[in-house]
Chain A
């Protein structure tokens, strides 16, 4: 074996170990959901579906899922509108303050989420507005903006502005141009950005813990893990992984280039 081959083998082996490390906790958390026992021993002593039954009949789980799905859907919608508009402005125009705007759009990604969570707590308190869905919606939408902006911007790279000019000179209104020219080109970026924003919201703890009453799904799971760790959480985990997988699959379908059915 040459030295290059040996290095190659070592790197392959290492990559496999790395993959194992990444996957392991998710694998055991989901596999434990079919345990027949009430403890967290792995591998489980026997198999049963009782923890799924327990999860599906637990009010905290059903309420949490619905609340978190609604929150994720609403905040993703806001993030997609805001992020797509920002990406188009940043890509198509050179204007005063562009650098500042560009930094602002990505800032929610590096800014510590606890600072924003605390700030939203202060803001809604000062305005006399109730905590709960409102501030969580604002916070989650803000956290989704960088993903949408960044992914739509990368879908726009290489976008030919003369397409817009051609469309306008043929008499199309700006709205028509946007819907029939721009939107199809950036749709994969929007889909990927929306999937990220949705899953980030669905999993968000650091903002929700400040501004909700602890009733989103991740916060409910956190309370369960802290106080009554039993395989119910494993069943819930499996369902959560399945929901995330479904979202990714849907986004993946939107990302695939479509065969043109109509001209």
Chain B
């Protein structure tokens, strides 16, 4: 080693590696979120724009208004329902691929990553073709005489649910599959060789050990679904008002920026509470999960 070198103080090395990330995330991520929280304390000027203030008036308005209470309830229930639906739909596939199928990795890649990476607009357009009143599903059902009237799924809650489940299935699949891959095959074989039936082995070995994956996947689906406004706006109807589309329309259409900031802050707090609470629940009631 030769030549003059800039002396790097001890302990600074990690921060030098972190510098680009901090230069991006502090102004581009932390600052905008703090600004949303700050602006939620402003007042909307009916003539346009915001008046700087430090008041909880927006929170008081929103939290006492039944209109918004219903929106929060709708979004919480719908997102939780989507998380549960994704879990139920994915579970057998993850189980099959992680513990039984012979060549799972390649199939998993095509099944999970590819849909995750196909534009959501393409998928929405596909669902419109499939479930519209005159779409493929309804023409098959009415054409074969199973139903007389077409099912009105598009531009209603069914459309939103189908779109959300389809969009977020891969986010459930990844942690679920990872958790099941970690299950030691020897434990499963031991259970079977000690005389447990296949069902008992599943119920007492595989199911408990997969719970961390279930929770991690459900968290991702929940957080994704509750903040999604694209699918409700394009596949859903007006009968079910949801939180994320309301944040967008208050900000962009109504130009109630402070109110929009308040709704966004409440959404953020709600998501954080649900994520932390489910994490705590796993840590408390699934002690075995720590060893998986």
Contact = CB atoms under 8 A, between A and B. Distances in A.
A22 B115 contact: yes
B247 A21 contact: no
Contact of A23 (B20, B115, B248, B265): B115
A contact patch SS? helix
Interface residues of B, number: 82
A180 interface: no
Nearest to A226: B234
Interface of B: 1, 11, 13-15, 17-21, 23-25, 27-36, 39, 89-90, 92-93, 95-97, 100-101, 111, 113-115, 117-130, 132, 134-136, 139, 166, 169, 198, 219-220, 223, 226-230, 234, 244, 247-248, 251-252, 257, 260-261, 264-265, 267-268, 271, 275
Given A105-B21, A122-B257, A205-B120, A95 B89 contact: no
Contact of B31 (A123, A141, A195): A123
Contacts of A171: 1
Interface of A: 3-4, 7-8, 11-12, 14-15, 18-19, 21-30, 32, 39-43, 78-79, 81-83, 85-86, 88-89, 92-93, 95, 98, 101, 104-105, 107-108, 110-116, 118-123, 126, 138-139, 141-142, 145, 149, 171, 195-196, 199, 202-203, 205-206, 209-210, 218, 221-222, 225-226, 229, 233-234, 237, 240-241, 244, 248
Contacts of A113: 227
A142 B29 contact: yes
A78 B34 CA distance: 22
Given A142-B29, A225-B125, 6 more contacts: A11-B96, A21-B166, A78-B20, A142-B24, A237-B125, A240-B122
Nearest to B250: A118
Contacts, number: 248
Contact of B121 (A8, A221, A248): A221
Contacts of A8: 100
